[in-house]
Amino acid sequence: MTTNEYRVMGMTCAHCEMSIREEVGEIPGIEDIQVSAKTGTLVVAGSGEIDDAQVLAAVKGAGYSAVRAR
């Protein structure tokens, strides 16, 4: 399983987390999504390669910005 972590700017509450989770959940191949407004992190996991561009675009579509953390 591949896991990528991102730092998300602008999240402040559970609604923010839900919006990001919904957008990222639309990406094919993503099997697990952990998002935390408290820590400002998004961790996604999938069985194959995770396309950073798709994840970052999904976060942007939810109204936030993000960068790859590691």
Binned average pLDDT, 10 residues per bin, the chain of 70 residues: 96 96 96 97 95 97 94
pTM over cut 0.85: yes
Determine the structural domain holding residue 61 and report its residue range.
2-68
Confidence at residue 46, expressed as pLDDT on a 0 to 100 scale: 95
User: In the prediction, which pLDDT does 70 show?
Assistant: 67
Cα dihedral 43, 4, 28, 33, rounded to 10, equals: -10
Instruction: Indicate the number of domains in the chain.
Output: 1
d(CA 47, CA 7): 21
- Does an H or E element contain 52, and which? helix 52-61
- CATH code for position 19: 3.30.70.100
